[in-house]
Amino acid sequence: MFVMKNGKAIKVRLEGIDCPELGQDFGTRAKQFTSSMVFRKTVVVKECSKDIYGREIVRVYVEGLDLSLELMKAGLAWYFNAFTSDPALAAAEKAARKQKIGLWSMPNPIPPWVYRRQHRREG
């Protein structure tokens, strides 16, 4: 996702979650959900770290809501605990799975990191 910082668009990654890729089931829905939450709104961005590609890993808050947590509640992301241990995100994923919300309505959703590995570009 991109956020405006000092008048420039910068690419960021949301901390603690991994959304489906656009080519996956619910990928477009996750993008639409994110856009509807943040488009033309002032957001608060809390920088957490940087990934190996130099992108900022952030938490985005809009109107008091944590975007990562809202995506989890909607069943539009996986909890990505490799670099964080947020019990709220873990609980939100567990609840979405139990209620079969979003991507959890599918019998065997493919995690985005597996999808990316399977669809890596040669070259």
Q: What percent of the chain has pLDDT over 90?
A: 60
CATH architecture assignment, domain 2-118: Beta Barrel (2.40)
- Encode pLDDT of 38-92 as tens digits: 988 888 999 888 888 888 889 999 999 999 999 999 999 999 877 677 899 999 9
Asked if residue 97 has pLDDT above 80, the reply is yes
Residue 5 in this model has a pLDDT that exceeds 80? no
For the chain, how far is it from start to end, CA to CA, in angstroms? 25
> Rounded to whole angstroms, how far apart are CA atoms 102 and 30?
9
Binned at pLDDT 50, 70 and 90, residue 122 comes out as: low
Tell me the C-alpha distance between 25 and 10, whole Å: 26
Which are the catalytic amino acids? 13, 21, 55
Q: Is the pLDDT of residue 123 over 60?
A: no
Query: Under the phi-then-psi rule, with left for phi > 0, alpha for psi from -120 to 50, and beta for the rest, what region is 68?
Result: alpha
Q: What is the mean pLDDT of residues 81-109?
A: 92
Where do the structural domains in the chain lie, given as residue ranges? 2-118
